[in-house]
Amino acid sequence: MPVRKTISKSLILYEIRNVLGNPYIWIFGVGFPIFFMFLMPTAVTRGMTDASIIRMVTTSLFLSIGALIPMANMLMGYGISCAQEMEKGVPQRLELFGISRKMTLCNRAISEGIFFVLSFLLYGLIGMLGLKLEAPAAIGVMYYAVCMLLFGIICFAMGHGIACLLRKFSLTYCVMMILYFGFMVCSGMMGISYEDMPKAMKAVANLIPVTYITKDFYTVWTGKSYNFMPMIQSYLFLGAVAGIVLFAGMKRK
Partner 1 sequence: MDTILELEQLSVKYGKETALTIGQPIRILEGDRIGVIGSNGAGKSTLIKSVLGLVPYEGTIKTTLQPWQIATHMQFNEYTTNMPVKYIMEGILDTRIAKNEHLQELIRYFEFEECLKKRYHHLSGGQKQRLTIIMVMMQNAPLTFYDEVTSGLDFETRQRLVEKLLSWYRDKDGAVLMVSHYYEELQQFADKLLILDQGHVLDFGKKKDLFDKYCGNAVLVVDHTPENARLLSEYPKLISPAHLLSISCENAQKEAEIVKLLIEHDVNYKRSNEDIEMIYVNAKAAYEAQKEEEKNARA
Query: Which residues are at the interface with partner 1 (CB under 8 A)?
Result: 1, 4, 8, 10-11, 13-15, 17-22, 81, 85, 88-90, 92-100
| Nearest to 66, CA basis, from 10, 126, 110 | 126
User: Cα–Cα distance between 97 and 100 in angstroms, integer?
Assistant: 8
- The amino acid present at 3, given as its one-letter code, is V
User: Cα–Cα distance between 102 and 98 in angstroms, integer?
Assistant: 11
Give me the least distance between CB of 10 and partner 1, in Å please.
5
Residues 214-226, buried b or exposed e (16+ Cβ, 10 A)? bbbbbebbeeeeb
Give me the least distance between CB of 80 and partner 1, in Å please.
12
Residue 164 or 213: which CB sits closer to partner 1? 164
Give me the least distance between CB of 189 and partner 1, in Å please.
29
Residue 76 contacts residue 32 (beta carbons within 8 Å): no
Give me the least distance between CB of 18 and partner 1, in Å please.
5
Give me the least distance between CB of 88 and partner 1, in Å please.
4
Residue 93 or 132: which CB sits closer to partner 1? 93
How many CB atoms lie under 10 A from the CB of residue 20? 11
98, 115, 75, 169: CA torsion to nearest 10: -50
Residue 1 or 51: which CB sits closer to partner 1? 1
User: Cα–Cα distance between 67 and 187 in angstroms, integer?
Assistant: 10
Residue 74 or 184: which CB sits closer to partner 1? 74
Residues 39-61, buried b or exposed e (16+ Cβ, 10 A)? ebbeeebeeeeeeeebbbbbbbb
Residue 95 or 237: which CB sits closer to partner 1? 95
Give me the least distance between CB of 242 and partner 1, in Å please.
25
Give me the least distance between CB of 149 and partner 1, in Å please.
25
Residue 99 or 197: which CB sits closer to partner 1? 99
User: Cα–Cα distance between 226 and 162 in angstroms, integer?
Assistant: 34
| Nearest to 61, CA basis, from 188, 146, 150 | 188
Sequence-ordered list of residues with C-beta below 8 angstroms from that of 74, at least 6 positions apart, any chain: 112, 116, 152, 153, 155, 156, 159
Residue 84 or 214: which CB sits closer to partner 1? 84
Residue 76 contacts residue 176 (beta carbons within 8 Å): yes
